[in-house]
Amino acid sequence: MYILKTAASFDSAHFLAGYNGKCANLHGHHWVIEVEAGQETLQAEGEKRGMVIDFGDLKKAVRALADSFDHALIYEAGSLKAATLAALSDENFRMIEVPYRPTAENFAKAFYEALSADGLPVLRVTVYETPDNSARYEV
């Protein structure tokens, strides 16, 4: 198995609605997305002969994904009151609603699915919410 690895990062805020602990409060992280892609064989012909995938293509996709979440408040659908959303919107804050609780585990799965849907040979995605704490998703 040939395996490539790349990473990108983003900074964002989130909170865990319904959680009994300090992460119920709005707080931020420097998230790191680490992606491993691979396959059993290398491309046999053409410009990408001898490669699993062009590193540039892999890095571009992971960077675009990270950039799409950068400097935003990421929140679970239904977790904020309409008045809160309206007030944040009136202040022109960047907000991203997701259909899941914004945990490292759920981000890992969502990022895996997004990159796989783009046709990348993703093996696993690891999301670090701190340098010492990460969650990995692989099939």
CATH code of 63's domain: 3.30.479.10
Q: Which of 137, 60, 80, 70 is nearest to 103 (CA)?
A: 137
- Asked whether residue 87 is domain-assigned, the answer is no
Beta strand pairing call for 73-76 and 133-138:
unpaired
Rounded alpha-carbon distances, angstroms, from residue 139 to 2, 9, 109, 112, 126: 17, 23, 10, 9, 12
Please give the angle made by the CA atoms of 14, 9 and 116, to the nearest 5 degrees: 95
- Asked whether residue 26 is domain-assigned, the answer is yes
Q: Which is the catalytic residue, given 23, 27, 30, 138? A: 23
Range of the domain at 120: 2-13+20-69+104-138
Q: Tell me how many domains the chain contains.
A: 1
- The confidence band for 127, taking pLDDT boundaries of 50, 70 and 90, is very high
Q: Which is the catalytic residue, given 27, 30, 71, 138? A: 71
- Asked whether residue 90 is domain-assigned, the answer is no
pLDDT in tens, 42-61: 999 999 999 999 999 999 99
pLDDT in tens, 12-23: 999 999 999 999
The question of whether 47 is a catalytic residue gets the answer no
- Asked whether residue 124 is domain-assigned, the answer is yes
| Both structure tokens of 55 | 């590193």
